[in-house]
Amino acid sequence: MAKFSKLAFNKGELNNQLSAFFADLLEKNAVDALLAPMAQPKKGVMQTLVTSKQNLSGVDPFAPVVPVNGARLASSLTSNPSGKKIGMVLRSCEVRALVELVKLKQANLEDVVLIGLDCYGRYENTDFLKLRAAGATTEDFLENAQAGKTETDGCDVAGACKICEFPTTDNVDIRLCIFGAGQGTLLIEAVTEKGEEALQTAGRKFGDSPAGRAEAVKKITDARVAAKNAAFAEYRNSTNTFDALNERLAACINCYNCRVACPVCYCKECVFVTDTFRHKGEQYIGWASGKALKMPADTTFYHMTRITHIAAFCVGCGQCTSACPNDIDLMPIFRTSAEKAQGRFEYLAGRSLDEPQPLSIFDHDELVEVTGQVK
Amino acid sequence: MAENKPIGTVLVAGAGISGIKAAIELAETGYKVLLTDSSTQVGGILAKLDYQFPSDHCGMCRMLPMVGREYSSEYCMRKSLYHENIEILPFTEVVSVAGDAGKYKVELKKRARYVNSEVCNELGKCIEACPVETADEFNHGLTTRKAIYKSVPHNVPQLLLIDKSVCTECGECVKVCSTGAINLHAQDEVETREVHAIVLASGVKLYNTKEYEDAKSYAVSPDVVTSLAFERMLSGTGTYRDGIIKRPSDGKPAKKIAWIQCMGSRNKRQNRDYCSSVCCMFALKEAVLAKEKGGDDVETTIFYMDMRTFGKGFQQYRANAEEEHGVRLVRCRVQEVVREPDGNLRIRYFDPETNEFQIAHYDIVVMSTGQIPFDDHRKWAELVNGELSPTGLLATEKYSKVRLAGKQGIFMCGSLMGLTDISEAMASGIAAAGEATSFLNAIGTDKVSFEDIAEPVTDDRQLPKAAVLLCKCGEFAGAEGIDLDMIKTEVMKHRGVGTVHVVNSICSEEGQKEALDVLKKAKCNRLLIGACQPFMYRRKVRDIAKKAGYNSSLVQIFDLLGIARRGTEEASKLAWTRRTINEIKADLESIKQKPALHVQSVPINPTALVVGGGIGGMHSALSLANRGIPVHIVEKSGELGGFAGNQIAATVDGLKPMTMAKDLKLKVFEHNKITVHLNSQVTKTEGTLGAFESKIVSSGTDQKTYLHHGAVIMATGGHEGQTDEYGYGQSDRIVTQFQFKQQLESGAIDLSAVENVVMIQCVGSREAGKREYCSRICCMWAVANALKIKEMNPDVRVYVLYRDIMTYGFLEQYYTKARAAGVIFVNYDLNSKPQVEIADGMPVMRFTENILNTEVEISPDYLVLSTGVDPETSNTELAEAFSLPLNNDGFFSEADSKWRPIEFKQIGSFLAGVSHSPMPLPDVIMQAEAAAQKAYTYLSGGSINTARVISTVKDALCIRCQRCIAACPFEARSYNAAEHRIEVDPAGCQGCGMCAVACRNNAAEVSGWSDKQMMSVIDAKLADDLQPSTAS
């Protein structure tokens, strides 16, 4: 089924090899444009859109950083389609969010060749910049991570990544595999026919299926699932009352950064900035009668609203936590509520393009025990 | 408008669904209705059913009006019913009926409930205190209740009552009742009312094990239950809990369940030579539900005689039950049920699959119990001095199922006509209302009229300022219930309140004058009114408000006396008052945040277009024209009358369609309100709600006519089906049932020379890929032709090869008669169809005789094929011209197969007769009358109002994710790709709010129900900032 093409690289040559591969894709018109993480002239690695191979020098897809969830960028590029075929290099959390956005009609994959990555996790943006400034390279990171070590100089990958049970990327056309690929090797997998066609056009030759990949993936996944279960249990124990939740959110200042960073919070204008939440003076006075009113008000309400809005779509990328200026660890709140909400509908955000989203269809027959209706 | 004409008033006796439907139709037309029920509740049998096929859901509310929603109170119908023109009198019996046509005096006995629902707080302390426990009839004795109880668990408001037959008068309830609502010495009240017409909708008694001897051999254990009792075992308000269907005897999960059909029905020896019509579908539905509610491992078996799936969609439901849900059907009459020592129920039956006797054990056996109609019919015949037919049923006028013979102004509907399914109950209720309306019209009564007061113009920039009007309801509220002075003071303090005024009685003319005066002076722009029974006075109060300059959407009415009491634990004046203040503040917040909403009045062209000039079409046209509505009939052939009116001289039950059609034609041509367009077809219809233009093309010419109309009735009919099966076309001795009937009647067949006639039923019917439905009339035609043969020459051997004989209802007697006359009925199924060969131009037949299980070869003189009924071929073009839906079989699709059988989803479009599905003539006429009534109510108003509460789209906020489109159950939302925006069809939107739920940021919002408003209400309700110091 799946076909693999081997890409061997010498130490320090990974990005050059990948750059050459992407150049082939562009030059042979397998794609018209490419969106991929690239090193920026001054500092940092950001998703970058290029249309010619001359601009591929900074290619660095495995750099352990995701400054913004790429699903949002994919939405910008495709919701009003350009008519050009775009290759997009994205990680699991980005593709899973993108799947949700496609279902919400905020993105369109018709002219997209999705290229997924195996992912050992990402650092927080500031940590990544710090490490890079100190000379750390992507290959160093991959080598250490393969040996089971992601921590460097007191910095570790994001909490969301440690408990992410989707280290490989599904629902893509092409996959860049490093798990179980062996030293100095990267495997380019054609996952779909579209992917195979693109690789053939780019002149890739297919070889044997790699031995040991499945096992390597399983090992990583199992470890992450165990970590997830432990983290969820800890979180649920510590945040099992409304007061505890309030306390967890106490530092919130209604900056709404978490909402801006969230790839599936897709409204054009959030209800919290509309008139609905422009309360009248008399209302504030009313709330303050007989008790102290912390201001800004509506902070816990805001997060709870966000839970109801995105619990069905949350893919657990953890960008909310990363975006918080006051270090509120929001990710567990959303991941645990999402697990419950999605489980309730036998849904898993990002799993498939074909499953209808919960509450998006009018279905008489769900939540029987709540509604008392049959089926 | 003439001043001295009385308002037409109708007594509807029986508040089951057909009675309710009749009452709503009459009330919507503008007549007053007294709706009585002898039981303690409204809703009849349907109040007990949580689920109905084919959707296996409720949906009772779909019988409520879909237009003009602003003026009726719409609630869950299983909870209760409110309409300003309907006076509901449960627990009331009709004791006597005196007088003549148009002037009836009815004596009504209101039975004492012993609990005054005006003051009862419904908390049920009395129920806890009551020491008497007895079987709960709502759950058929599966559960118990107290002597003081709530008769229906889900009613709103809850009307408690005392069952005096078990009450010991210990007085415990009186002691705990803090509101003094209980009077153990209350008396029944009898009052006499004058009505102009009467609709009998009382339903009929059902067969039961207590009264009828022949049930005893079945009812051997508490685990043998009736089908209605089983329904309660599937309901959360019955005994269903946690996914378990409980066996009544020991509460164990029931995993093997059997149904025995025809309990009490189809039994000539017991004088019950009729079919109860609905039990087959009821059992199929229960079997499907049992699997869904009890788990996939539940085994269900239905023992039946004939599976009578004769109605629209019934056959598909049966196929689905068998194929998708694995419901097992066994054709066998079970003679007895035996209780084994371990409590299991043993059934011995003959299995036609194996041709052997089998024994099976079940946890529950459900008896599909039918109707026992004669007592009810005799009772009504005596009361109204009506005529009884030889069968023992109330005689109706010829061709009519609803008009009582010789009794002007008295009609019947629903299960009194013989048990009916929901759609027939609806159709008959509407038809009865239609007949009553025509009658009231003819005797010159008036309708309830309303002044047409223009909606005041509002200025949205004004700050909200509310006037609060409280009705004292005489002296009652002030003296005993709540402290109006305190309310006045406290509410006055609330921000945004302009005035608070107490009137003595807002239902009196004086009170209304006072209110108008106060409101005019108050210079407010919002109005909150507290009165008793707010549902009853809505329109009147709104009219006063309009006159005083208040926009209707900014007027809110609440139940002043009930609001505090219901559910308030502490029964003190202070507690009630505080609760009332809190509720008023919440309502004030809601109304303050509300924008003025506007209703558009759309004028309607009061002309009807009837497509199809058969008997049904002509009936609809006359019914409308007689009430002053101009009608166009478009008929594609050169002759009115349709298939039945031009081809069928007589039917087995003594009707003469050709004679009837001749009479109707005469009336149609003579009527100055009816225009007939023969040889014509509608090719295109354009226009909007209430104003359509249809293009009519005459065949063979270029002549085009444009008709303008506000409503359309589809009455296109059907014709006999075609076939090439069983050698049809290869011998002149192989004929269709209709051809045979004609040859018999014309004398073309010499029966003295005939030895054998074989009839095959369901030719090309009830079979995948062919006519997948039952044509409903072929069995009767076969029985009629067979009887005719036997009458003319008893020596002819007549074989009828059938799959299920569909002689439902009282047609069963003709089937019985045919068997008595020696007609041989042989069952076959699709796996063993009869074989036909042609030898020397004559058919030679082979089939299996199922009693002796032997192969029979016969050379019949005639082979008669029942080829079913096909829909009119022009349906396809008409469906396109009118944008109306067809089902897979080519018949038109009504709005809702159960609750709205006579109308299309498209407002102003109706259907009747065979355009809906094949049906016998009396049913065609009943539907035609019902369609005319629906069209009349719609057209006679002159205009309709668009709904005020509909959903809207805020384009600036909308991200076009289209979740709202998927979520809309009425398909009222769509995506306009060209303009890249979401659109709402204001006529289709029913304001349910699903879109607002699906939408994340309020880009979809239901007008008048904003989040902001709701949050303010919640805030106000939670506040309760009334300090005890101010309260004391």
Q: At what angle do helices A70-78 and A92-103 cross, to 10 degrees?
A: 40
**A105, A357, A372 ranked by CB distance to B236: nearest:** A372
Give the helix ranges, DSSP H, for B832-988. Answer: 875-882, 921-940, 963-967
Helix or strand holding residue B580 (H, E): helix B573-592
Q: Does B585 touch chain A (CB under 8 A)?
A: no
Is the separation of the CB atoms in B348 and B337 below 8 Å?
no
**Left (φ > 0), alpha (ψ -120 to 50) or beta: where does B724 sit?**
alpha
User: Smallest CA–CA separation between B1006 and chain A, in Å?
Assistant: 14
- The predicted pLDDT at position B1009 comes to 87
Q: Radius of gyration of chain A from Cα atoms?
A: 22
- B112-187 carries CATH number 3.30.70.20: yes
Q: Give pLDDT, residue B628.
A: 94
| CATH architecture label of B206-370 | 3-Layer(bba) Sandwich (3.50)
Distance between the two ends of chain B, CA-based, in angstroms?
55
Check CB contact under 8 Å for B293 and A362. no
Query: Hey, is the C-beta of A255 within 8 angstroms of any chain B C-beta?
Result: no
Instruction: Name residues whose C-beta falls within 8 Å of residue B307's C-beta, 6 or more positions apart in sequence.
Output: B280, B284, B318, B329, B331, B804
Residue A293, chain B, CB below 8 Å: the answer is no
pLDDT of residue B1: 42
Which residues are within 8 A (CB) of B736 and not within 5 positions of it... i.e. 6 or more apart?
B720, B723, B728, B864, B865, B866, B867
Any CB–CB contact under 8 A between A364 and chain B? yes
Q: Please tell me which of the candidates A269, A289, A357 has its beta carbon nearest to residue B957.
A: A269
pLDDT at site A1: 56
Give the residue on B whose Cα is nearest the Cα of A271: B1001
Query: What pLDDT is stored for residue B57 in this prediction?
Result: 63
- Interchain CB contact of A55 with B (< 8 Å): no
Distance in Å, alpha carbon of A270 to nearest chain B alpha carbon: 6
pLDDT < 70 regions, chain B? 1-3, 51-59, 62-63, 65-80, 156-157, 450-451, 473-481, 533-538, 564-571, 1024-1032
- Domain B9-111+188-204+373-442 class? alpha beta
Partner-chain residue, chosen from A276, A309, A362, that has the shortest CB–CB distance to B1012: A276
> What are the pLDDT digits (tens) for A322-375?
999 999 999 999 999 999 999 988 999 999 999 999 877 656 556 655 555 443
Res B282: pLDDT: 93
- Cβ <8 Å between A276 and B1000: no
Q: Tell me the nearest-neighbour CA distance from B529 into chain A, angstroms.
A: 24
Signed CA dihedral, A50, A51, A54, A56: sign only? positive
CB contact under 8 A, A360 and B1016: no
- Determine the Cα–Cα distance for residues B225 and A98; give it in Å rounded to an integer: 55
The confidence score (pLDDT) of residue B74 equals 53
Which parts of chain A have pLDDT scores under 50?
A: 373-375
Name A28's Cβ contacts closer than 8 Å, sequence gap at least 6.
A201, A202, A203
Residue A165 structure tokens: 């049970």
pLDDT at B1029 (0 to 100): 35
**Do the two domains B466-598 and B603-717+872-941 of this chain adopt the same fold?**
no
Task: State the burial class of residue A62 (Cβ atoms within 10 Å of its Cβ: 0-12, 13-18, 19+).
Answer: buried
Residue A198: what pLDDT? 96
Domain made up of B951-1006: CATH architecture: 2-Layer Sandwich (3.30)
- Single out the residue of B329, B327, B323 nearest to residue B306, CA to CA: B329
Find residues 296-325 of chain A whose CB sits inside 8 Å of chain B: 309
**Please, what is the Cα angle at A177 between A175 and A180, to 5 degrees?**
150
Pick from B958, B998, B1011: CB nearest A359: B998
Chain A positions in Cβ-Cβ contact with residue B1003 (cut-off 8 Å)? 267
| Residue A271 to chain B, least CA–CA distance (Å) | 5
Q: Is the ipTM of this complex over 0.90?
A: no
Bridge partners, B824 (sequence order): B799
Contact call for A271 and B1001, based on CB within 8 A = yes
Q: Where are the domains of chain B?
A: 9-111+188-204+373-442, 112-187, 206-370, 466-598, 603-717+872-941, 722-868, 951-1006
| Chain B: closest CA distance from residue A153 (Å) | 42
Size of the A and B interface in Cβ pairs below 8 Å: 84
SS (H, E, C) B758-774: EEECCCCECCCCCECCC
State which fold the B603-717+872-941 domain adopts: FAD/NAD(P)-binding domain (3.50.50)
Task: Judge whether B61 is closer than 8 Å to chain A, CB to CB.
Answer: no
d(CA B263, CA B442): 44
A375 to B292: CB separation less than 8 angstroms, yes or no? yes
pLDDT at B78: 59
Q: What's residue B67's pLDDT?
A: 53
Specify the CATH superfamily of domain B722-868: FAD/NAD(P)-binding domain (3.50.50.60)
CATH code, B466-598: 3.40.50
**B730 interfaces chain A, CB cutoff of 8 Å:** no
- Chain A residues with CB inside 8 Å of B956's CB? 268-269
Contact B849, B834 (CB under 8 A): no
